Amino acid sequence: MGLKPDAPKPPDPTKTANAQLGYNTGAAQSTINMNSLDHNGPFGSSTFTHDANGNVTGENTSLSSALQSGANNTQNNFSALTGNLPTAPINFDNNTVGNIVKNNYDAYSALQQPGRDQTQKNLDVTLSDRGIPIGSEVYNDAQGNLDRANSLADQNAAAGFLNAAPGLQSQLDANTINEYNAPYTTAASSLGLLSGLNGLVSPAPQGSASVSAPNYSGLVQDNFNQQNQQYQDEMGGIGSFAGAGLGLLTAPLTGGATGGLSNSLLGRGVSTLFN
């Protein structure tokens, strides 16, 4: 039987760290489970989902039946509106100054033409009643006066359209942009309604907990310190017994039975010390 004491073995740091992490995680999950409570209100409900062990895995929110019907309608409307969104860039080709003047002049001419036709007819009847033949000097003068009046009106109208074109162009550009953005604006309104509906059912308060990682490096250092201390303690004990054995070896020995017994005990003692 040896003289070495059996010092306690230091704990394994990896197993200790994993065990501590398991306790930390379990405590955190229990805190979350206890603090995650379902919520019900006039606008809907918010409930938690759980796994087979009762641990919280997620949260579901649902609207009341009346609000859900409105949400379905709004979603369908949003889907239809986004299908009509423009796919090409904004086209300002019709808003050039030239096109603005031409379009306005064409509209002006179309409005003036019935009145001018009537005026021309009246002039022809008047001249005919007076017995003035077509092509005569009097006829040509009367027709010339009418044509010059019409031409002057046309020139004034064209000048007015040209002067107004920059302002009209700015307004037309704004109108074009508004028309282009109209589907986006309407779709955004639907999306805003959906967001508002979703906000009526606020999620239930979720439990939270933090999981601290074990101090693995500290556990490793502690384990090393314990092993090193054990080694130092054992080596100190061995040194003490070895010193005692050397003292016996250097002491005077007598012969005979006593000397033989002492030598025998010493030999066995030293042998036992290192076994």
Residue by residue, DSSP assigns 141-208 as HHHHHHHHHHHHHHHHHHHHHHHHHHHHHHHHHHHHHHHHHHHHHHHHHHHHHHHHHHHHSPPPPPP-
pLDDT one-digit tens code per residue, 178-218: 999 998 999 999 989 988 888 887 666 667 777 776 777 67
Compute the mean pLDDT over every residue in the chain, rounded to the nearest whole number. 81
Query: Is residue 169 pLDDT above 50, yes or no?
Result: yes
Q: What does the pLDDT average to over 246-269?
A: 50
Looking at per-residue confidence, does 271 or 142 come out higher?
142
**Total count of residues recorded for the chain:** 275
Range scoring the smallest mean pLDDT among 30-34, 234-238, 256-260: 256-260
What phi-psi label fits residue 135: left (phi over 0), alpha (psi between -120 and 50 degrees) or beta? Answer: left
Q: At what angle do helices 97-129 and 137-200 cross, to 10 degrees?
A: 140
Residue 227: per-residue pLDDT = 77
Q: What is the pTM of this model?
A: 0.43
| Residue pair 74/190 in contact by the 8 Å Cβ criterion | yes
pLDDT one-digit tens code per residue, 35-66: 888 888 888 888 889 999 989 888 888 888 98
pLDDT one-digit tens code per residue, 78-105: 988 888 898 899 999 889 999 989 999 9
pLDDT one-digit tens code per residue, 118-135: 999 999 999 999 999 988
The rounded Cα 57 to chain-centroid distance in angstroms is 21
